[in-house]
Amino acid sequence: MLQVGGRRLPIVGRARLYVCGITPYDTTHLGHAATFVWADVAARVLRHLGVDVEVCRNVTDVDDVLDAAAARSGSRADSFAAVQQFRFDRDMSALAVRRPTHEPRARSHVGQVVTLAAALLAAGAAYERDGTVWFRGAGLAERAGLGEDEAAARAVEFGHNPDAPEDVPVWRRARAGEVAWPSPWGEGRPGWHAECAAMALTTLGPALDLHVGGADLRYPHHAYEAAMAEAVTGVAPFARAWLHVGTVGLDGAKMAKSTGNLVLVSDVLAKHPAAALRLLLVDRPWAQEWEYHPVALDAAAARLERLYGAAARGALDAGTAGAAEVTAALLDDLNVPRALAVAEEAGGEAARVALSVLGLS
């Protein structure tokens, strides 16, 4: 049985994984890659157990930042996003990340966001002011363990209601010149948290087995997404377990588009094997924040060669006991470092199982 973040996750038959995907305006940096490779590892471990895994990874192609990036390039937002999506798919393929079962796009789910907003209004969980539908988020920051100052700062960053900072837009009235869609409250656009809630509910239903995303999305994005879904369906928790992948740093700051300190996957793969980069991304506890240093890729490549050598040692049945230890380590909170240590020492079948399940072979 898989355990994630201290939660035991018994699964009968089918597992539903939702992965917070990209906003396709500048892809793909190592922070992105870490999240999506870890999601792929979790899915592979479940498949190794014989579980039928259904993965949904969304594309946020309705977004103010995407529109701004497209305008700077002189392109339409949809065509600009398509180019970025192509580059992202190429990077994921190189890193052996399997394509998701479902890949919903926000642009195709605007109607579902309108339905979600109407349902939240009917449930008393939202209210409408001047064409914007606001979700009532009282208490969510406290539930997420945030102090008042940090919650207020994030409220400003993510466009919460200035008169009620805990409230967020489910549907936002359009500004002049924006692409907008019709709704009962006038022309407008979906809110970010509502987009993910609508896409997850539409694709996977009222509850998830595992929700994956970067640790920086824990609040407000994931907190509000889950709260909206629970308010509409009455099913709680929305996600049985969360995989909040630790952020990647560079030169002492979190790697992010907003700071511009990006290391792109395509640039790394021009000089290093893709499997070495994949190994570097997962050879650590999944929740751990870490700093990227290029020299670490050489160490990862060297370890990968040792693992390949270990896999070639002995007869086909060599390392069978070690293979069980590898599986046990991966079931214990996706303990990749332990699984790799066992694989390297035991060799044979243990190393082959580790390489296969981790997508390194």
DSSP conformation letters of 23-73: -TTS--BHHHHHHHHHHHHHHHHHHHTT-EEEEEE-B----HHHHHHHHHH
Give the rounded distance of the alpha carbon of 92 from its chain centre. Answer: 13
Q: How far apart, in whole angstroms, are the C-alpha atoms of residue 184 and residue 129?
A: 12
Among 43-57, 133-147, 291-305, the minimum mean pLDDT is found in 133-147
Per-residue confidence (pLDDT) for residue 313, from 0 to 100: 84
Specify which of 9-13, 143-147, 298-302 reaches the highest per-range mean pLDDT. Answer: 298-302
- Please write the tens of the pLDDT for every residue from 65-81: 888 888 898 888 888 99
Give me the residue label for tokens 């709680």: 236
CB 10 within 8 A of CB 46: no
**Percentage with pLDDT > 90 across the chain:** 78
Residue-wise burial string across 326-342, b where 16 or more C-beta atoms lie within 10 A, e elsewhere: bbebbbebbbbebbbeb
Per-residue confidence at 153, pLDDT binned at 50, 70, 90?
Answer: confident
Three-state DSSP class for residue 115: helix
Instruction: Provide the CB-side half-sphere exposure for 31 (13 A, CA).
Output: 28
Residues 324-333: what's their mean pLDDT?
97
Residues 164, 134 contacting (CB under 8 angstroms): yes
Q: What is the pLDDT of residue 310?
A: 95
Prediction pTM value: 0.94
Among 13-22, 124-133, 220-229, 311-320, where is mean pLDDT lowest? 311-320
Top pLDDT among 327 and 159 is at 327
pLDDT tier, 159 (very low <50, low <70, confident <90, very high otherwise):
low
Cβ 204 vs Cβ 173: under 8 Å? no
Predicted local distance difference test score (pLDDT) of residue 203: 98
Q: What is the pLDDT of residues 173-207, one digit of tens each?
A: 999 989 999 999 999 999 999 999 999 999 999 99
Identify the pLDDT of residue 324.
Answer: 95
Alpha carbon distances (Å) from 148 to 141, 163, 215:
8, 15, 19
pLDDT at 230 over 90: yes
Structure confidence at residue 255 (pLDDT)? 84
Instruction: List the domains of the chain with CATH numbers.
Output: 12-123+188-254 (3.40.50.620), 293-361 (1.20.120)
